[in-house]
A and B are shown apart, each in its own frame.
Chain A
C-alpha cells in the first residue's frame, strides 16, 4: 500500500476540528493518540450488538463477546509474535502491566540486598513500582546512566550486572527524550546472568515493529491508548515460563478454578492474571487499531515518521536559542525542547493559543529532567497522521511564543 496521508487523516475525526478558530495541530501523541473511525465504530458495534459478560454465560451473546475477546488475543499474539496466545494478558495499560510484574516478582523472588536495574530515562510508571518493591524487600535499585545526548551508557550497564541482579526493567523508547534504546543488546547481556528483562513498550508499540521472540524479552508492556486504541486497554506479554512461576496479582472472579472457604486453586494462563470483568470494548478497539496499523504497515509508518522527525528537527533548530533535549542517534518522533530562558509553561500557553497541542512539564520522568538540570520541557510528539505543514505551524507558534515572551 502507498502511504496516502490525505486518506489517513480523513480516518481520524478528531483531527478535523478547530481550536481557537484554527485547524487543530495535534502534537501530543506521546501522551495519547487519536482514534481512527474504525476503532470508534468497533466500540459502538460492541455496545450496540455484542455487549455481554465474557467467559461466563452459555447464552448466545456471551459466547459472541467471548469469541471476539479471544479473537483479539490471537490477533495481538500474532501482531507482536508471541509463542503462545496465553502469554498475552489483557490489562488496563502499561502502568498496570508493570505493577503486576513488579509486585508478583517481588513477592516471590526478591530478597534482601538483591538488585534491580532500571535506567535514568524511565517514566515514573517503570520506576516507582520497582523502587517500592525494593523498599519492601530491602533490595536495591540500580540506575543505568546516560550521556548528554540521552543515550544509555552500555558499558556502565555491564558493570551494574552481577550475581545480585534479579531483574532489569527498561523503556524501549523514552517518552521525554525520544531515545530508542538498544533493548535487544541489553536483553542478551542480562540473559548471560539469567536475569529476566521487562521492556516498557508504551512508546515502542506505536513506532516500531515489535517481535517479542526476536527481542527475547521476558516481559513487554504497552497501552492501547498510545497506539490509536481506546483508553483502558493494555497488554502484558510474559514468557510462559515466567507467568507460570509468578503468583497472581489480584484475586476475584475469572482468575479462579475452584473456590471453597478454605482454599482456592487458580485458573490457568492467561486468566490467572485477569481477575474480574475486563474492559472488553477497549480490547476489541485495540485489536481494530492494530489491524488498522497493519494495513498501512508499521515499516511505512516508521519511515514516514522518521522523515517528519528529521524535517521538524531541522526546522526547529533554525530558531535562535532553541535547544533540543535528547539528541540520540536513534530517535523516535518525539522532540523535547526549550526556547532560551522561557519557562515551558509560558511557551506552552502561547503555542496552545496558536492551535498547536504540545505537552509541557516533566512528562512523568522527573529524574531524567533532573539529570539535564531543567524543570521541564516543551514536547512535540508526532504520529503518522501528522504532516510537514503541521511542523510549519509548530515552528510558527514557537516563533510567536518567542516573540511575546523573550
Chain B
C-alpha cells in the first residue's frame, strides 16, 4: 500500500474509538504487545534522545525500500511509533520524503509531536526523513 492509503486506513480505524480512553488503551496495547526492535539494536548510536522518553531507530535499505525498526521505553510513545512505522516502513525513499503525515493530526495525536513534549517522536520523524535522503543519494 502507498503511504496515503495506509494513512487513510489508520484514520478510518481510529474513527471507531468512542473517546480518548479507548484510543489510548489501543495505543498502550500496541505499545505493549509489539516487540519493535531487536534488543541488539537498542544501542547508543541508534538512540534519539528526547528528554522525556527515549527512542531507538534503525533503518535498512532492501530492494529500493527502507525498513524501519524503532522502539521506546515509554509505552504510549511506542504505540505511536508503531503507527509511524506502519506508515513509513517498507516504502521508497522519495515517498517517505514527501509524506506529510497528516493522519497524526486527524486522529488527534498531534500533541505528541509537539516540541514541548520532547518525547523523541519529532526527532524520530526527522531522522527517518534523513535516512530516506541518505539512502536516496547513496543508491539512486
Judge: A and B partners, yes or no. Answer: yes
Chain A interface residues (CB < 8 Å from chain B): 20, 343-346, 348-350, 353, 360-362, 375-376, 404-405
- Chain B proximity of A219: nearest CB distance (Å): 29
Whether B75 pairs with A346 at a CB distance below 8 angstroms is yes
Residue of chain A at shortest CB distance from B32? A405
Q: Which residue on chain B has the smallest CB distance to residue A353? A: B20
* CB atoms of B51 and A404 under 8 A apart: no
What's the Cα separation between A20 and B20 when bound, in Å? Answer: 10
Interface, chain B (partner A; CB < 8 A)? 20-21, 24-25, 28, 51-54, 73-77, 112, 118-119
> Contact: B76 with A361, CB < 8 Å?
no
Which residues of chain A come closer than 8 Å to B51, judged between CB atoms?
A: 361-362
Q: How far is the CA of A1 from the CA of B43 in the complex (A)?
A: 60
Q: Which B residues are in CB contact (< 8 Å) with A346?
A: 28, 74-77
Residue ID in chain B nearest A376 by CB atoms: B52
Closest chain-A Cβ to B17's Cβ sits at a distance in Å of 13
Closest chain A residue to B20, Cβ basis: A353
B20 to chain A, nearest CB (A): 5
Sample (17) of A-B pairs whose CB atoms are under 8 Å apart: A343-B73, A343-B74, A343-B75, A345-B77, A346-B74, A346-B77, A349-B24, A349-B112, A360-B52, A361-B51, A361-B52, A361-B118, A362-B51, A375-B54, A375-B73, A404-B21, A404-B25
Q: Is the CB of B52 within 8 A of A405?
A: no
* CB of A236, distance to nearest CB on chain B (Å): 28
A353 contacts B24, C-beta separation under 8 Å: yes
User: Which residue on A lies nearest to B51, using beta carbons?
Assistant: A361
Interchain CB contact (< 8 A) of A345 among B24, B25, B53 = B53
CA distance A139 to B18 in the complex (A): 61
How far is A344 from B51 in the complex, measured between Cα atoms in Å?
Answer: 12
Q: Determine which of A20, A360, A376, A405 lies in contact with B75 in the assembled complex, contact meaning CB atoms within 8 Å.
A: A405
Within the complex, what minimum Cβ distance (angstroms) separates B67 from chain A? 26
Chain B residue contacts of A349, Cβ below 8 A = 24, 76, 112
- Supposing A360-B52, A404-B25, A404-B28 touch, asked if A345 and B20 sit within 8 A by C-beta, the answer is no
- How many Å lie between the Cα of A66 and that of B76 in the bound state? 52
What distance in Å separates the Cβ of A176 from its nearest Cβ neighbour in chain B?
A: 14
B28→A345 contact, CB < 8 A? no
Inter-subunit contact B77/A350 (CB<8 Å): no
- Of all chain A residues, the one with the shortest Cβ separation from B79 is A346
Q: Roughly how many angstroms separate A404 CA and B24 CA in the complex, as a whole number?
A: 8
5 residue pairs, one from A and one from B, having the closest CB atoms:
A343-B74, A345-B74, A345-B53, A345-B52, A346-B76
Pick the residue among A344, A348, A376, A405 that contacts B28 (CB under 8 A): A405
Determine which residue in A343, A376, A404, A405 has the highest number of CB atoms from chain B within 10 A of its CB, and name it. Answer: A343
Q: For B25, give the chain A residue with the smallest CB separation.
A: A404
CB B54 to nearest CB in A, in angstroms, measures 8
Distance in Å: Cβ of B82 to nearest Cβ of chain A: 14
Q: How far is the CA of A404 from the CA of B29 in the complex (A)?
A: 9
Taken together as a complex, chains A and B put the C-alpha atoms of A19 and B53 apart, in Å, by 24
Instruction: Give every chain A residue within 8 A of B52 (Cβ-Cβ).
Output: 344-345, 348, 360-361, 376
Q: How far is the CB of B1 from chain A (nearest CB, A)?
A: 29
